[in-house]
Every structure is written in C-alpha cells, then in structure tokens.
Chains A and B, each alone.
Chain A
Amino acid sequence: NAGVTQTPKFRVLKTGQSMTLLCAQDMNHEYMYWYRQDPGMGLRLIHYSVGEGTTAKGEVPDGYNVSRLKKQNFLLGLESAAPSQTSVYFCASRLAGLVATYNEQFFGPGTRLTVL
C-alpha cells in the first residue's frame, strides 16, 4: 500500500501560469481533501470531496478548482497562479461513515509550490 501520494513534490510557477496537483490514494477511501499549510496559519481546507463526482468548498477555495472523476484521484487546479498561493499543499483521505474512528485522515507527503 502506497497510502496517499502527491505529484509533483516541488514546483515553481510564474504569476499567471496554471498547474494541476494530483493526489492518489489506494485505500479505497470515499472522502478526500486538499489543504494548504502556511507559517502561522496552520492547515486550511481548500476543497474536499465525499465521493466520486462530488466536490465542496472549504475554508479558502478562491483561486482553486478541483475534480474527482475517479474515486482514487483528487485533482487540485490553479488556473492563474498568484504569489499568495505559495504554500505547501497536502492531500488527505479517509473512510466515510459514522463510526468514530473513521475520522482519521491520512495525509500525503505534500507539494511545495512557489509562485514568483
């Protein structure tokens, strides 16, 4: 089991460029999440998905789009990158359901993005 993987690990963009971050999980999890982590700001939820074909906005969705065409993949897109989007991006996944322990989110290793 690879768990949650993220591609790429590092990326440098110029302002206005676009890119897509890929998250893949092999644990058959229904829920998937995209966070950004900035110094002093903690983890902030960008978008999330509760199943294939569904997406929902999180705390800081502006400037990002997502798609969940396959259960195992969750894509995060930046259409026109801005320096304010320089951050470390984490993907996470978890099981669905009401069982308490299903709350555990499994995180990927992160993507370090710099926008110049």
Chain B
Amino acid sequence: QKEVEQDPGPLSVPEGAIVSLNCTYSNSAFQYFMWYRQYSRKGPELLMYTYSSGNKEDGRFTAQVDKSSKYISLFIRDSQPSDSATYLCAMSLQGGSEKLVFGKGTKLTVNP
C-alpha cells in the first residue's frame, strides 16, 4: 500500500463548479498536510498548509483534514479556468521533518 494515494483524474468541470480533491494516507504519524498547485510546465507551488485535523479556509480554497479517517481534501469554490492545474497533496511527520511525501497529483481542467 502506498503511503499516500491520490486519484490522478483527469477531472473536468464547468466554470463556477465546486471542486473536491482528495488524498488518503496510511501513516497515522503524519501531522502536517499541504496542497501544492502545479501549472503545466512549471514547478509546484504551495497553495494551502494545515496542521492536524480541521478546516482551513483561504479565499475560494478550503483544506480539510480528517485524521481519524486518514483523509484530506481540498475544496475549490466558484472554480475558474485559471484554477486549471495539477494539484498535489503532500504530508510530513513533523514540523522539521526533512522529507515530504507527495501524492501523484490530480489534473484539473475548468472549462469556461
């Protein structure tokens, strides 16, 4: 079993839709959870960062962590064509942990 599982998609939605992206993980010791966004032919960049369980909101984006289910989600409200990208979840064991464990990424296309 992979440490982090992420459905690669692709996911195609109309503009204005609510998008839900998800990852599951097997290591209950993960404490820090991140979502990176990667535009085509670019490097990943950090989008959201959460610690432990709960929700975190930033504009149209909400990150959710359910540690009891080992499940994390990223919600995008009022999706825009500019949100079209690959979204990678990442997690680490502790704040200073040297390495991140990445999901494989979900490719999202938002159609105008």
Interface residue B34 (Cβ < 8 Å from any Cβ of A):
yes
Interface residue B46 (Cβ < 8 Å from any Cβ of A):
yes
The 0/1 profile, CB within 8 Å of B marked 1, for residues 29-46 of chain A is 001000000001111010
Please classify how large the interface on chain B is, using the bins under 10, 10 to 19, 20 to 34, 35 or more: 20 to 34
CB-contact partner of A48 in B45, B51, B99, B102, under 8 A: B99
CB-contact partner of B96 in A56, A58, A92, A99, under 8 A: A99
Name the B residues within 8 Å of A96 (CB-CB).
96
Q: How many A-B residue pairs have CB under 8 A?
A: 62
* B95 engages A40 (CB within 8 Å): no
Residues of A9-50 whose CB lies within 8 A of B: 31, 40-43, 45, 48, 50
Name the B residues within 8 Å of A101 (CB-CB).
49, 95
A4's nearest neighbour on chain B, judged by CB, is B43
* B98 engages A97 (CB within 8 Å): no
Interface residue B92 (Cβ < 8 Å from any Cβ of A):
yes
Most chain B CB within a 10 A radius of its CB, from A99, A101, A103: A103
The interface on chain A, measured as residues whose beta carbon lies within 8 A of the other chain's beta carbons, has a size of: 28
A98-B94, A102-B96 known; A109 vs B43 contact (CB < 8 Å): yes
The 0/1 profile, CB within 8 Å of B marked 1, for residues 77-116 of chain A is 0000000000000101000111111111111111000000
Most chain A CB within a 10 A radius of its CB, from B46, B51, B95, B98: B98
Name the B residues within 8 Å of A42 (CB-CB).
6, 88, 102-105
Minimum CB–CB distance for A99 against chain B, Å:
6
A and B contact pairs by CB, cutoff 8 A, 9 listed: A31-B98, A43-B102, A97-B95, A97-B96, A98-B95, A102-B95, A102-B96, A104-B49, A106-B45
Which of B's residues lie within 8 Å of A, judged by CB?
6, 8, 32, 34, 41-46, 49, 51, 88, 92, 94-100, 102-105
- Further pairs besides A42-B6, A109-B43: 8, Cβ < 8 Å: A42-B103, A42-B105, A48-B99, A50-B98, A56-B98, A58-B99, A102-B95, A107-B43
